[in-house]
Amino acid sequence: MVHLIRKGRSGGKILGTAALGAALLFAAAPAAAEPSEADLHAALQALDTKKFKQKAQAIEHLGTLGGPRVLEVLEALSKGRLHVRKDGRIVIAERSGKQYTVQDAASGRPEPEAGKKELKKIKVNNRLRRLIRGVTGRLALFSDDPGRRLEAADNLSKNPSPEALPLFRQARDRETDDAVRAKLEVGIAVLELEADDPALRLAAATTLAGISNPDIRSLLKRRLAADAEPNPEIREALHRAVESIDRKLWLFGIAENLLFGISLGSVLLLAAIGLAITFGVMGVINMAHGEMIMLGAYSTFMVQEIFRSVVPPELFGFYLLAALPVAFLMSAAMGVLIERGVIRFLYGRPLETLLATWGISLILQQLVRSLFGANNREVANPEWISGAVEIAGGVTVTLNRLCIILFCLAVVAALAAFIRYSRFGLNMRAVTQNRSMASSMGIRTGQVDALTFALGSGIAGVAGMALSQISNVSPNLGQNFIVDSFMVVVFGGVGSLWGTIVGAFSLGIVNKFLEPVSGAILGKIVVLVFIILFIQMRPRGLFALKGRAAGD
């Protein structure tokens, strides 16, 4: 074996150190770079045998050679694609139609097609497959791709076996990527907890104290409970490690709740911000607000479908950008229609407005149900917002949630700027504060009303686009948000944009902190009861408008 290793091109120091600590299974370290084709060829030929024991040896040997080619060959072997050609060479063959497409196993070069008779499959059993999995897992530790190395380190350190220790150490020593090395360190420390050398054990305990992983914590706990540690000093260190992990987990728990709370808060805020305009600024109770959100979501769905059929697939991911104006305009147009068609006649009669808009919401729901069916429609996440990000210590957020938080902040900022700085925003504020005076100054209050309502509805549509990324798009989508959004607006203070923001985030965060204690539904009930009681104390919400503008 040693003889064969020496043939490895990279040879050298790594192999030397590895050979020192090698157990029988890990006779040598896999080489990082590609072994020469001739070596590979020779090693492969050893697979051409009937005896599984010899095959196992050959696989081990291939593992010591290392390199991406070996990985590919071993994968082919476990899938039953590795064959012996009539001329005795080992090839990878895959069935296509009646013939087999063939490539040389050692070089990967394509070869002429072959019929069934020319090929003899190299058989594997489950034991061999297990062996292959182990070997490929270890090989991946030395892969060129840091992502693969991370994955391999993760898998191996989850359930490390004592024999893997030298391999771990060796992989750590040559590892350049910090994340992978950290993973490997953990695996090594877990194994070294049981080392004979007390210094190693102590060092391992210190290393593990810095890890915030519940599995590690229970491992340490088990070790303490089993009285497996003879040295009192190290036992103390283990206790400290458990405490330190506990502290970190607690902190991360809070951070996680906070993050999820902010995420929920931004969803609430998106749903409520349009309402804050129609209800808060205009005093119109729009029970069809939820349906404006739904329309936005369905617009997104339609834009997606159009992109699917018309636009080349590599541009598909950008459908969301196109959906943004479509969702806004669809809902805004519907808003103008509702305002001019119904609400305009009901100003000053809020309860009637409430009932009429409820009627509109029923009609819109049924309309969408008739057009699109009652089932959920699937809106795909574009690639650039799918996946998850890990934020320190096992707190992971899906990217779409993170995007919603950012998107929500952007929408709020844009809206606030629009109201603050644009001409229309000025008119809007003027009409809100004193309708008759604004009218005397030449502002067309009717037009302002219609456009304000359109703005609120359009923002609801944009919210629908965002929500389509995290929840089901169905005709009932809006109904799920209507009570929540009214609660947010009333809690924050009607007429106050700032109040709506604070209201949404505080309700979201409170909800998420209650959830682990009381369960999701009870938490929601508690929040609702809290709001009801809160409104009794401050009927105008958190941030009440003062002065004449507050009058009904």
Partner 1 sequence: MGPLSSRLFALESRRGWTVFMGLAAMLMLVVPVLNLAVPPDSWLHVPTFWVTTLGKFLCFAMLALALDLIWGYAGILSLGHGAFFGLGGYAMGMYLMRQIGERGVYGHPELPDFMVFLDWKELPWYWFGFDHFAFAVLMAMLVPGALAFVFGWLAFRSRITGVYFSIISQAMVFAMMLAFFRNEMGFGGNNGLTDFKDLLGFDLSASTTKVGLYLASALMLGLMYLLCRYVVTSKLGRVLIAVRDAESRVRFLGYSVTRAKLFVFTLSAMLAGIAGALYVPQVGIINPGEFTPAKSIEIAIWVAVGGRGTLFGAAAGAVAVNGAKSLLTGIAPEIWLFFLGALFILVTLLMPRGLVGVVRQWRERRAIAKTSRSDSHVSA
Q: Does 517 bind partner 1 (CB under 8 A)?
A: no
* Owner of token pair 């009285």: 227
Q: Does 518 bind partner 1 (CB under 8 A)?
A: no
Q: Does 533 bind partner 1 (CB under 8 A)?
A: yes
Q: Does 522 bind partner 1 (CB under 8 A)?
A: yes
Q: Does 371 bind partner 1 (CB under 8 A)?
A: no
Size of the site for partner 1 (CB under 8 A): 43
Q: How far apart are the C-alpha atoms of 493 and 331, rounded to whole Å? A: 25
Question: Which amino acid, residue 347?
Answer: Y
Long-range pairs, 73-79, Cβ under 8 A, ≥24: 73/40, 73/44, 73/105, 74/132, 74/135, 74/136, 74/139, 75/132, 75/136, 76/105, 77/47, 77/122, 77/124, 77/128, 77/132, 78/124, 78/128, 78/129, 78/132, 78/133
Q: Does 380 bind partner 1 (CB under 8 A)?
A: no
CB-based contacts of 174, cutoff 8 Å, min separation 6: 14, 32, 142
Interior CA angle at 336 toward 376 and 444, to 5°? 160
| Residue whose CB is less far from partner 1, 311 or 525 | 525
- The mark string for 278-297 relative to partner 1 (x by CB under 8 A, - otherwise) is -------x-x----------
Q: Does 136 bind partner 1 (CB under 8 A)?
A: no
Q: How far apart are the C-alpha atoms of 28 and 9, rounded to whole Å? A: 14
As a whole number of Å, the CA-based R_g of the chain is 33
Q: Does 387 bind partner 1 (CB under 8 A)?
A: no
Q: Does 358 bind partner 1 (CB under 8 A)?
A: yes
> Of 137-145, 155-163, 193-201, 359-367, which part binds partner 1 (CB under 8 A)?
359-367
| Residue whose CB is less far from partner 1, 309 or 536 | 536
| Residue whose CB is less far from partner 1, 410 or 520 | 520
Q: Does 257 bind partner 1 (CB under 8 A)?
A: no
Candidate list 37, 104, 111, 352; residue touching partner 1; CB under 8 A: 352
Q: Does 23 bind partner 1 (CB under 8 A)?
A: no
Q: Does 354 bind partner 1 (CB under 8 A)?
A: yes
Q: Does 486 bind partner 1 (CB under 8 A)?
A: yes
CB-based contacts of 155, cutoff 8 Å, min separation 6: 137
Candidate list 369, 372, 391, 429; residue touching partner 1; CB under 8 A: 369
| Stretch (H or E) spanning 326 | helix 319-341
CB-based contacts of 159, cutoff 8 Å, min separation 6: none
Q: Does 552 bind partner 1 (CB under 8 A)?
A: yes
Q: Does 550 bind partner 1 (CB under 8 A)?
A: no
Candidate list 126, 176, 309, 536; residue touching partner 1; CB under 8 A: 536
How does strand 82-85 pair with strand 99-104? unpaired
| Residue whose CB is less far from partner 1, 244 or 506 | 506
Q: How far apart are the C-alpha atoms of 171 and 138, rounded to whole Å? A: 9
Candidate list 92, 131, 490, 504; residue touching partner 1; CB under 8 A: 490
Q: Please report how close the Cβ of residue 58 comes to partner 1 at its closest, in angstroms.
A: 58
Looking at residues 322 to 351 of the shown chain, list those that interact with partner 1 (rule: CB under 8 A): 342, 345-346, 350-351
Give the 3-state secondary structure of residue 532: helix
Q: Does 521 bind partner 1 (CB under 8 A)?
A: yes
Q: How far apart are the C-alpha atoms of 379 and 58, rounded to whole Å? A: 49
**397 has which bridge partners?**
389
| Residue whose CB is less far from partner 1, 370 or 376 | 370
Question: Which amino acid, residue 383?
Answer: E
Q: Where are the beta strands (DSSP E) in 173-245?
A: none
Are 324 and 411 spatial neighbours (Cβ–Cβ below 8 Å)?
no
Q: Does 487 bind partner 1 (CB under 8 A)?
A: yes
Q: Does 375 bind partner 1 (CB under 8 A)?
A: no
Q: Does 389 bind partner 1 (CB under 8 A)?
A: no
- Could you tell me the two tokens for 388? 């998850």
Q: Does 363 bind partner 1 (CB under 8 A)?
A: yes
Q: Does 516 bind partner 1 (CB under 8 A)?
A: no
Q: Please report how close the Cβ of residue 345 comes to partner 1 at its closest, in angstroms.
A: 6
| Residue whose CB is less far from partner 1, 219 or 342 | 342
Q: Please report how close the Cβ of residue 341 comes to partner 1 at its closest, in angstroms.
A: 9
Q: DSSP characters for 123-181?
A: ---HHHHHHHHHHHHHHHTT-S-HHHHHHHHHHHHHS--GGGHHHHHHHHHT---HHHH
Q: How far apart are the C-alpha atoms of 386 and 381, rounded to whole Å? A: 6
Q: How far apart are the C-alpha atoms of 350 and 238, rounded to whole Å? A: 66
How does strand 82-85 pair with strand 90-96? antiparallel
Name the residues that contact partner 1, by CB under 8 A: 285, 287, 342, 345-346, 350-356, 358-363, 365-367, 369-370, 479, 482-483, 486-487, 490, 521-522, 524-525, 528-529, 531-533, 535-537, 539, 552
